Amino acid sequence: MTHAGPAVPVVVHDPRTTTGTAHALVFAPVTPTWDEGAFFAPVIETLTGAAGAGAGAGATAGPDPAPAAVGGRAAGVTSAASAVRRGSGTGPGARAGAGSGVRAGARAEAGARTGTGTGPRGRAAAGVRGGLRVTVVDTLALLDEDVRTLGDLVARWRALLPEFGPVDLLCGNALGGAVAQGLLPYVAPETGVLLVSGPARSDALLEQRLTEIADLAATGHTDAALALLHHRVLPEGTPAPRTVSAAVATSRPAPRPTGRPTAEAPNRPTSEPTPRNTPAQRLDGGLRLLCGIDLTPAVEAHPGPLLHLVGGRSQLVTRRHTAAAPHHRVHVVPDAGMRPHTDQPAEVSALIETFLREKGLT
């Protein structure tokens, strides 16, 4: 079933229990194409209650095999994102104002999802428990030539945030996690936060590794960029297949000017940019947005609960790239890489279930 909704690619997973009313908004990482949330499948199972539903209840493990798609697949990205950009004026607020039908449809769907709109604490006090409704969005759907920093992308999403209705849990992986943290000053104070390898700040090593992949994509070596990215998300110490080493060695771009890229002046290729919805442009544009970031103040100031999961053997985002207030929790998953929810799904699922239960979200 297709719902009216925001003008970006969206997939909605219903909770596995009828009493579930809390709403989780998930921001996807950089992927070469929109995968409709497949990257986060183990986490979605836990959020919707599928992981713990049990055969006795007649539930099938895993996300709903036919989640409601909003905004279409890759073919819908250009028209959906351009609808946002065509709003009058130049600021993010003007972009969000494009199309009253978009707002009306999203509000109608949000109302159906959240019922009376009461917060998670009110629902917990009333004894209402169950899985969450999960909305997964393509974080890069709003990427265009005007988005040159993470702050630019956060501003785009800030303008669209009201269209999703009340959000009880803000989630994100990698770039999606960075965007989620950038949005913290603009959500309700009690909003829960679940991050998986979502950097709050970068350093020279992370930027060097991200830029190496982005440079390959920017110079037309998309296969090599994808091969290197696939290797980098695996746990450190995992041998790189010879095909990865060969692809990178034979397609390595010419040396670029040295110097750390910053959020104000990203180190971008000077060649003509490719369309923003191609795999090369998504890799190039998306990965560079993580260079020179520091979201520490926004994270530390958030009064709501936060759980951040990172891999103990991650080659990219590690513990040192996270930020947290004293009441937040950062958990390092041993033997996991950039995607601990894939490397250690049972441990990650248990951690998330405990977090949701303690915070009254399930």
DSSP codes, 20-54: ---EEEEE----SS--TTGGGHHHHHHHHT-TT--
Give pLDDT, residue 7: 65
The residue among 338 and 262 whose pLDDT is bigger is 338
Tell me if 151 sits within 8 A of 41, measured CB to CB.
no
Q: What percent of the chain has pLDDT over 90?
A: 60
Q: How far apart are CA 194 and CA 14, in angstroms?
A: 18
**What are φ and ψ of residue 117, in 5° steps?**
85, 10
Q: How far apart are CA 23 and CA 134, in angstroms?
A: 6
The residue among 124 and 331 whose pLDDT is bigger is 331
Give pLDDT, residue 361: 86
Give pLDDT, residue 252: 64
Give pLDDT, residue 161: 95
Token pair 């397609």: residue: 251
Q: How confident is the model at residue 209 (pLDDT cuts 50, 70, 90)?
A: very high
Q: What is the pLDDT of residues 118-171, one digit of tens each?
A: 444 344 333 445 799 999 999 999 999 999 999 999 999 999 999 999 999 999
Query: Is the confidence at residue 59, as pLDDT, over 60?
Result: no
Q: How confident is the model at residue 251 (pLDDT cuts 50, 70, 90)?
A: low
Q: How far apart are CA 351 and CA 333, in angstroms?
A: 10
Q: What is the pLDDT of residues 313-324, one digit of tens each?
A: 999 999 999 999
Give pLDDT, residue 16: 84
Q: How far apart are CA 26 and CA 176, in angstroms?
A: 8
Could you tell me the two tokens for 74?
Answer: 């890759």
Tell me if 305 sits within 8 A of 351, measured CB to CB.
no
The mean predicted confidence, pLDDT, of the chain is 78
Q: What is the pLDDT of residues 223-240, one digit of tens each?
A: 999 999 999 999 999 887
Q: How confident is the model at residue 86 (pLDDT cuts 50, 70, 90)?
A: very low
For the chain, the farthest-separated pair of C-alpha atoms sits apart, in whole angstroms, at 62
Query: Is the confidence at residue 329, as pLDDT, over 80?
Result: yes
